[in-house]
Amino acid sequence: MLTVAALAGIVITTQPAFAQPQASGSWRAYSETNYEGPDTTFSGEVGACKYVGDNWNDKTRSAKSSSATTRVELWDNSDCTGGSIVIDGSGYYAIGAWVSGYRVTSV
């Protein structure tokens, strides 16, 4: 539903709360420990569980978020269940080959 108001010849248009842009964050996954090897960037809206995709499933060996304040949960299962760790801008330099899902929790 779109809300429109006319005040003294000025038209103001607002979108409902659900149409406002969601906050999002990103993180970088590396195929080797110590932030080495082939890498890729993942992004997502805060609170949304996402699958890393077939190319990266169980292949992330180190990771860090895009900023000091961005926090991301890395999950054992693609539906963000099972075991997890939380990464931020300082990173996690050695991760076992188990990451399948992720959720940005803050930016």
Per-residue pLDDT band for 6 (boundaries 50, 70, 90) equals very low
Q: Is the pLDDT of residue 21 over 80?
A: no
Confidence of residue 22 (pLDDT cuts 50, 70, 90): confident
pLDDT at 20: 63
Q: Please give the DSSP secondary-structure letter assigned to residue 15.
A: -
Q: What is the pLDDT of residues 55-88, one digit of tens each?
A: 999 999 999 999 999 999 999 999 999 999 999 9
pLDDT of residue 15: 55
pTM: 0.80
Rounded Cα gap, residues 1 and 44, in angstroms: 26
Residue type at position 62: S
Model confidence pLDDT, tens digit, residues 30-58: 999 999 999 999 999 999 999 999 999 99
The DSSP secondary structure of 40-94, one letter per residue, reads EEEEEETT-EEE--TTTTTT--EEEESSSS-EEEEESSTTS-S-EEEE-TT-BS-
- Sheet (strand 101-106) strand order: 49-51, 101-106, 71-75, 84-87
Q: Is the pLDDT of residue 5 over 80?
A: no
Per the structure block, which two tokens stand in for 93? 């330099």
What are the structural domains, with CATH classification, of the chain? 22-106 (2.60.20.10)
Per the CB < 8 A criterion, the answer to whether 25 and 46 are in contact is yes
